[in-house]
Amino acid sequence: MTSLFPTFDFHRVFVAPWTQDLATQGWVMLMGFFVATACGLVGNYLILRRMALVGDAISHSILPGLAIGFLLVHSRNSLVMFLGALAAGIVTTILIELIHKKSRVKQDAAIGITFSSLFAIGVILISLFASKVDLDQECVLYGEINNVALDFPYVSLGGFTLGPPALVRMAGVTIVVVLLIALFYKELLVSSFDPGLAFSLGINATVMHYSLMAMLSVVVVSAFESVGAILVIAMLILPGAAAALLSQRLPVILLLSVFHAALSSVLGVHLGLALECSPAGAMVVMGTLLFALAWLFSPSQGLVAGWFRLRMKPLIPPDTDQAAKFKV
Amino acid sequence: MNRIPKITLLVLFNGFFILPATAARIGDISETSVLEQALRFFTFQEPSVRYALLGSIFLGITCGLLGSFIVVRKMALFGDTLSHALLPGVALGFLWNMSKDPIAIFVGATLAGLLGSIVVHLIKQTTRLKEDTALGLVLASFFAVGVCLVTMIQRLPTGNKSGIDKFLFGQAAAIGADDIKLMAIITALAVAAITIFYKELLVTSFDSGFARVAGFPAQAIHYGLMLLLAFAVVIALQAVGVVLVSAMLITPAAAAYLLTDRMSRMLMLASAFGMAAGALGAFVSFLGPGLPTGPFMVLAASVVFALAFLFGPRHGVVMRWWRQHSRSRRMQRENTLKAIYQVLETREGEGDSVSLRELAQRRRETEDDARRQAYELKQHGLATLHDDGDVIFLTPDGWEQACAIVRNHRLWELYLTHAANIAADHVHEDAEKIEHVLGEEVVRQLEKRLDYATTDPHGKRIPSLADMRQRGAQAGRSEDTVGYGRRA
């Protein structure tokens, strides 16, 4: 009988992915890195703008767009599918605004209602046309990052093999995201931190908002295939949140989130191999562990550092009654 | 790549083609038609149908009740986080003895949910990260752990047929007798808790400051509600699934929130909507093979919300638009009536009809526009048209309303010049607006304040009660008309 935890095999977990399996696992790691980087970079701005849960909403609600796009052209990787998902993402943003502005339902409830309805429509479409759609419920939930290396034929440029098409696409999206952030760094920064100042500098906050949403939709759609609808949220939030615990400067935070993305994807593949579970899930688990480490050991905001400071320099002698009061 | 091809996965896990053991009780669905399935559903002979329906109703009540508090406390997305965070608990509960033991899963899921809410609280307390980030973090990371566990379970020989994947999107047909008992207990618990602590919940939800001052244990109530919420989400899992269970909390309650201002009524409505959506979802998913229950329930709830959003009598978008529209139409009619009155007034009693041209001149419009407005008056029984619609007679009702509106206008002008010391040539614009909204009460007060004046600041006569009745009596109306402000 197979047990829940497979017997640990050093060779299978640590050596093989870098030697004989590099052809497949290498692509998986690289794919994970690109997904987490693109998501993490955009996610930083979501965290700053306190819109983390809008990312949650969009990642759920692109599903009907994907499904309809798929039913129209009957193939994956198509532009139609991509556009459908993009449209669904924008519709979500508009619907949330509409419900929130035109009725007395608060924004949080508006988000919840919008994404759950759209997600439900998506799941129903998929299950109704299950026989026709090469897009099943499992894929929606866990993604299929493992299949990235099976995506033939590999793209090559000038005799040099670049990699599987899915990976090349994701890399392209990542590069575009990096370029956009580099180009509009100032605008994004100012409109995220100080909308008033942004307005006085002539930056259109609405345009920035919808551009960011469009970028988010593009990233989420491209990542969807690899990590599924729900783990995308982790990819969006984890790198930025962990980085925000380590630094207060945006450039450093952006760099750290890329570092987090790289580390969690490489470690995640190994964890996935060790436990024989979904690699996307394992990547997120690794990302969570990294976040937990940052939370514990961050020099400025970490739990340990805070506790240490409290022990070393008690503000009030610990035996007075007031100590208990001030500790809170 | 030694991963099993996709299509095999589909066959093995999804239950589209081979129904897992848990769902097989409702029979070989794929061989019967939709109509037969509907018949089977409504005869309620099979226990699985009864269980599915009963379970959906229980979950509708519980989610509606607790969801109402979630919505008014602005914690809607907390429910979402909680439900996703349950997944590892469900998986661990399943691992306890490798079966869908309701108690083990219940305990595991509740613990995972509580752990999740504690972590959210801790992140908010000890770091600079905001609530939304904390919620998203817990949601995604707990879910990832759950995904790893579920994929590990599915790798086990017994895991394939265990139906654990049914927890992701829900399958009401998989609800068994034990589940129903648990659901009944939780529903009873939720109803009892809300009845007993209604006042406390109400106060802490709407006025936390007052609750603290009045000595209500706000923290304890908050955590009590969280615990109940975790219970509700866990029992809803079977039918709706992890991913969409938060919608059953938020959507019916938000729909109820649009329809009423009273908490007690909102609770009733929300649980009614929840029940309806639950039953409908269970029914539709029973009709065909492989139709997941959760999405249909959520969709039914969303339809209810959309209806409330559009057609709610007080807050509905369409209703509000319609009110606005009919108000502007009424104002238009009143302006036409006023113009007719003014034309008649200049004649000093000579004749009681107005030609279309006169009206158009008075309103400074084309004759087509005037014709349209005259027709509008006719439709509302305020005027009759003669000579191909070129001559307008006011009916007694029309005359009365015309008098009333002119009276409102002139009284207000007089009031502004007398009481607010505004120059007589500045009061017209203001009176143009206010004449449409003055109620009978205010008109009475104005008359009294102005000592029943008979002329306005421009020297024109303010139509009196006698004027209004005069024509009414001429046209054979009874004398018992009271007041000025009668409107259609």
Q: What is the CATH number of the domain that holds B420?
A: 1.10.10.10
Residues B116 and B154 in one domain: yes
In this structure, what are the phi and psi dihedrals at residue B18, rounded to the nearest 5 degrees? Answer: -110, 115
pLDDT at position B476 over 50: no
Model pLDDT, residue B13: 36
Say if CB A6 and CB A220 are below 8 A apart. no
Listed residues B313, B339, B354: the one ending a domain? B313
3-state SS, residue A162: strand
Model pLDDT, residue B394: 83
d(CA B184, CA A302): 45
Task: Give the residue-averaged pLDDT of B369-382.
Answer: 86
Write the pLDDT tens digit of every residue in A283-321.
999 999 999 999 988 887 788 888 887 777 655 555 555
Does the CB of A134 have a partner CB in chain B at under 8 Å? Answer: yes
- Within the 220-239 window of chain A, which residues sit less than 8 Å (CB to CB) from chain B? 230-231, 233-234, 236-238
Structure-token pair, residue B80? 């979402």
d(CA B101, CA B179): 9
Residues B76 and B107 in one domain: yes
List the CATH number of the domain containing B144.
1.10.3470.10
Model pLDDT, residue A41: 93
> A314 lies in a domain?
no
> A292 lies in a domain?
no
Residues B206 and B293 in one domain: yes
Write the pLDDT tens digit of every residue in B435-465.
888 888 888 888 888 877 778 888 788 887 7
Give me Rg for the CA atoms of chain B: 34
Residues B88 and B110 in one domain: yes
Residues B367 and B455 in one domain: no
Model pLDDT, residue A176: 93
Residues B297 and B423 in one domain: no
Model pLDDT, residue B169: 74
Residues B323 and B440 in one domain: no
Q: Which of A52, A116, A272 sits opposite B298 (nearest CB)?
A: A116
Model pLDDT, residue A136: 61
Listed residues B266, B284, B313: the one ending a domain? B313
* B451-480 exposure pattern, b = at least 16 Cβ within 10 A, e = fewer: eebeebbeeeebbeeebbbebbeeeebeee
> B408 lies in a domain?
yes
Residues B79 and B158 in one domain: yes
Number of Cβ within a 10 Å radius of residue B8:
10
Contact A136 B299 (CB under 8 A): no
Question: Which domain does B196 fall in, by range?
Answer: 51-313
Q: How many domains does chain B have?
A: 3
> B23 lies in a domain?
no
Model pLDDT, residue A328: 46
> B32 lies in a domain?
no
Residues B341 and B406 in one domain: no
Write the pLDDT tens digit of every residue in B203-215.
888 888 888 888 8
Model pLDDT, residue B160: 54
> A132 lies in a domain?
yes
Kindly report the nearest CA distance between residue B267 and chain A, in angstroms.
16
> A310 lies in a domain?
no
> B479 lies in a domain?
no
Q: Cis peptide leading into A153, omega within 30 of 0? A: yes
> B30 lies in a domain?
no
pLDDT band per the 50, 70, 90 thresholds, residue B129 = confident
pLDDT band per the 50, 70, 90 thresholds, residue B161 = low
Chain B positions in Cβ-Cβ contact with residue A104 (cut-off 8 Å) = 257-258, 315
| Percent of chain B residues past pLDDT 90, beyond the cut | 15
> B125 lies in a domain?
yes
> B481 lies in a domain?
no
Global model pTM greater than 0.95: no
Find where tokens 């969280």 sit: B226
Residues B336 and B241 in one domain: no
Listed residues B394, B427, B456: the one ending a domain? B394
Residue of A nearest to B80 (CA): A112
Half-sphere exposure in the Cβ direction for B2 (13 Å, CA)? 3
pLDDT at position B25 over 50: no
Write the pLDDT tens digit of every residue in A243-252.
999 988 899 9
Task: Check the CA dihedral A258-A264-A267-A272 and report its sign.
Answer: negative
Task: Check the CA dihedral A293-A297-A299-A305 and report its sign.
Answer: positive
Contact B244 A120 (CB under 8 A): yes
Write the pLDDT tens digit of every residue in A55-101.
888 888 888 888 888 888 776 666 787 888 888 888 898 899 899 88
pLDDT at position A153 over 80: no
3-state SS, residue A278: coil
Write the pLDDT tens digit of every residue in B271-316.
999 999 988 888 888 787 767 788 899 999 999 999 999 988 888 8
> A264 lies in a domain?
no
Question: Which domain does A111 fall in, by range?
Answer: 10-155+163-237
Q: Which of B144, B157, B165 sits opposite A1 (nearest CB)?
A: B157
Task: Give the residue-averaged pLDDT of B39-44.
Answer: 70
Residues B327 and B351 in one domain: yes
> B192 lies in a domain?
yes
Residues B389 and B402 in one domain: no
Does the CB of A287 have a partner CB in chain B at under 8 Å? Answer: yes
List the CATH number of the domain containing A220.
1.10.3470.10
Q: Under 8 Å CB-to-CB from B458, ≥6 apart: which residues? A: B413, B424
Model pLDDT, residue B485: 36
Distance of CA A236 to the CA centre of its chain: 3
List the one residue out of B443, B480, B449, B433 whose CA is nearest residue B463: B443
Write the pLDDT tens digit of every residue in B353-370.
788 888 888 888 888 888
> A251 lies in a domain?
no
pLDDT at position B10 over 50: no
Write the pLDDT tens digit of every residue in A139-148.
666 677 777 6
Contact B76 A278 (CB under 8 A): no
Chain B positions in Cβ-Cβ contact with residue A307 (cut-off 8 Å) = none
d(CA B464, CA A32): 83
Strand order in the sheet with B353-355: B353-355, B391-394, B383-386
Number of Cβ within a 10 Å radius of residue A300:
11
Q: Where are the alpha helices (DSSP H) in B156-217?
A: 166-169, 177-196, 198-206, 208-213
Model pLDDT, residue B273: 94
Model pLDDT, residue A141: 67
Task: Give the residue-averaged pLDDT of B227-245.
Answer: 83
Of chain B, the end-to-end C-alpha distance in Å amounts to 78
Mean pLDDT (chain B, rounded)? 80
d(CA B90, CA B88): 5
- Within the 374-433 window of chain B, which residues sit less than 8 Å (CB to CB) from chain A? none
- Within the 23-82 window of chain B, which residues sit less than 8 Å (CB to CB) from chain A? 71, 74-77, 79-80
> A227 lies in a domain?
yes
d(CA B353, CA B367): 16
pLDDT at position B474 over 70: no
Write the pLDDT tens digit of every residue in A155-190.
666 666 677 877 888 888 999 999 999 999 988 888
> A93 lies in a domain?
yes
Task: Give the residue-averaged pLDDT of B313-331.
Answer: 89
Q: How many domains does chain A have?
A: 1
| Percent of chain B residues past pLDDT 70, beyond the cut | 85
pLDDT band per the 50, 70, 90 thresholds, residue A51 = confident
Residue of A nearest to B17 (CA): A131
Structure-token pair, residue B420? 């607010």
Question: E strand or H helix at B335, and its extent?
Answer: helix B317-347
Chain A positions in Cβ-Cβ contact with residue B23 (cut-off 8 Å) = none
Residue A25 DSSP label: I
List the one residue out of B313, B316, B319, B285 whose CA is nearest residue B299: B285
